[in-house]
Structures are given as C-alpha cells and as structure tokens.
C-alpha cells in the first residue's frame, strides 16, 4: 500500500514538472495549472503579489477599469524584477463611496463599491488562501488611495496571528506613494503646476495610464476633462503623454522592488 502511494506521488510530481517545463513563462497565477503552481512554490517562488485596483469613474477620457489594468501590469513588472514572485488575480471590488445617498465616485455611472468590512474580509481570505498554497510573503499592492488604511489593518491583523510562523503579509505603502506623491513631485520639478498634475484623472494619472496601456485613454475626450469636478477630474490631462508616464512607471517598479526586498530581508 505504501509503495503504491509513493509511486503515485512520484507520478504526480513528474507530471507536474513536465507540465511546468512546457508551460509559457508567466508570472500570473491565473495562467498556471495547480500542479505547475505547486512545483513553482517548491522551487522557491514563495512571494505573491496581490494587485488591488477598483472600478470607478475616471472622467470622460479614461476607462472605468484603469486601476485594474494598471495594478496588474505593474505587479507583473515587479514580479519579474523580483525573480521569485507571482501575481494573484486583481481585486477589482473595493470601497468607492456610499450607495444611499451616493457619495464620492458613486455619483458617477459605472463605479462599483463594496463596504469596507467586506473588502477587508476579501483581502484576509485571499491572503489565507495563498498561505495554504505555500506562499511565505504576501504583498498587497494598492493602486488606489482610499483603501490604503484597510490594507495596512489587514496586514497587521494577519501578522499578529502568524507571528509564530514563517509567513508574513505586507501592505506596501511605497507602491502607492511612488504612484501618487513621488510622480507628482517629479512632474512639478519639470515645470508642471499642481493644478495641471491633479489628484485624479489629471496629467499624472493619465500619463501613467498611457504608459501602461494607451487604450485606457480616449484622446478625443481630453478636451472635455479640464479639472472640472462635475466631469470627475482633478487636474488637466490634455498634455499627458506616455513618455511622461514611463518615468513614473519605472519609479513605481524600482521603489516597490526595493521595498519588498528590504521588508523580506528584515522580516
């Protein structure tokens, strides 16, 4: 009986290795089969990035899923730079405001919200699921500002519970700081004014989107997005370019990789 079980385990392991060898190189968990994932983790890929986006209005010139696309693309780049990381599916349902009456982005068609406690439970369950898969370092990458405090709270709670284990959760503040504050400062140093840079769907936000995926932006609608609160825009995106955005994207990746490596080294 024992010999039979051992033989079966060897067959399964060999099959998984063969499948992994034939699989396309991808850092995205959803592109792998379950056996391929098991082999990758056993081989040392024990860091998992959870990209967190949000489905919200971004003015007349950017698509509702901007955060989701950006978070996935940037997480993929970060994972490749780390070399021992994979990327979980994007969490696209996040707190975006009240429903009755509608507040914040919920005043605009297409925005989807969930209560903050539902969001935190989702993040908690995702992290616990990934721990079961063998990941030791679970990193939250939040592309939106409003839920950063929730990410940090979930990470703290998990780490208190996991204190006696080899598993840790991280709410990577450096990712969002590089995307928001750091990129805005670099644009200001190049002569752009705060009123143009903006805080949502303005020059900075739109340039990052163009650098990640040009199809996220409707160029013909840029003239209609000039800092009007009624249009859901803070800033002026008319001079946004992919070239401007590339410097921000590169900084986000570089600073996130360094922060993850430092956090793991001092765990």
How high is the pLDDT of residue 267? 77
Domain tally for the chain? 1
Give yes or no for a contact between 67 and 53, defined as CB atoms under 8 angstroms apart: yes
Residue 17 has pLDDT above 50, yes or no: yes
Residue 31 lies in a domain: no
pTM of the model: 0.90
Q: Write down the residue that tokens 């020059």 correspond to.
A: 203
- The string of pLDDT tens digits covering residues 56-115 is 999 999 999 999 999 999 999 999 999 999 999 999 999 999 999 999 999 999 999 999
How high is the pLDDT of residue 10? 52
Residue 23 lies in a domain: no
Residue 13 lies in a domain: no
Write out the residue range of the structural domain in which residue 238 sits: 44-265
Residue 112 lies in a domain: yes
- How many whole angstroms separate alpha carbon 18 and alpha carbon 83? 21
- The string of pLDDT tens digits covering residues 209-262 is 999 999 999 999 998 877 667 789 999 999 999 999 999 999 999 999 999 999
User: Which one, of 83, 198, 97, lies nearest residue 146 by Cα?
Assistant: 97
Give yes or no for a contact between 61 and 156, defined as CB atoms under 8 angstroms apart: no
- How many whole angstroms separate alpha carbon 201 and alpha carbon 6? 57
How high is the pLDDT of residue 13? 52
Residue 22 lies in a domain: no
Residue 29 lies in a domain: no
Output the domain CATH number for residue 152: 3.40.50.10310
Residue 50 lies in a domain: yes
Residue 75 lies in a domain: yes
């Amino acid at each position: 009986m024992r010999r039979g079980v051992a033989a079966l385990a060897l067959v399964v392991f060999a099959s998984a290795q063969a499948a992994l060898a034939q699989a396309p190189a991808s850092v995205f968990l959803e592109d792998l089969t379950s056996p391929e994932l098991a082999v990758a983790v056993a081989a040392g890929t024990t860091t998992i990035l959870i990209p967190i986006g949000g489905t919200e209005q971004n003015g007349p010139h950017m698509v509702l899923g901007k955060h989701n696309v950006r978070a996935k693309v940037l997480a993929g780049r970060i994972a490749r730079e780390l070399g021992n990381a994979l990327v979980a599916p994007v969490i696209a349902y996040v707190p975006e405001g009240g429903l009755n009456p509608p507040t914040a982005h919920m005043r605009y068609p297409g925005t989807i919200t969930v209560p903050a406690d539902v969001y935190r439970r989702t993040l908690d369950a995702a992290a616990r699921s990934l721990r079961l898969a063998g990941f030791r370092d679970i990193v939250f990458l939040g592309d939106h500002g409003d839920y950063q405090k929730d990410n940090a709270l979930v990470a703290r709670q998990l780490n208190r519970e996991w204190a006696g284990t080899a598993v840790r959760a991280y709410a990577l503040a450096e990712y969002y700081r590089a995307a928001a504050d750091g990129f805005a400062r670099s644009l200001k140093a190049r002569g752009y004014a705060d009123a143009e840079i903006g805080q949502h769907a303005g020059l900075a936000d739109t340039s990052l989107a163009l650098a990640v995926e040009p199809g996220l932006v409707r160029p013909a609608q840029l003239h209609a997005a000039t800092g009007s609160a009624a249009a859901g825009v803070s800033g002026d995106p008319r001079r946004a370019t992919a070239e401007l955005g590339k410097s921000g994207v590169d900084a986000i990746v570089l600073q996130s990789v360094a922060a993850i490596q430092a956090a793991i080294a001092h765990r």
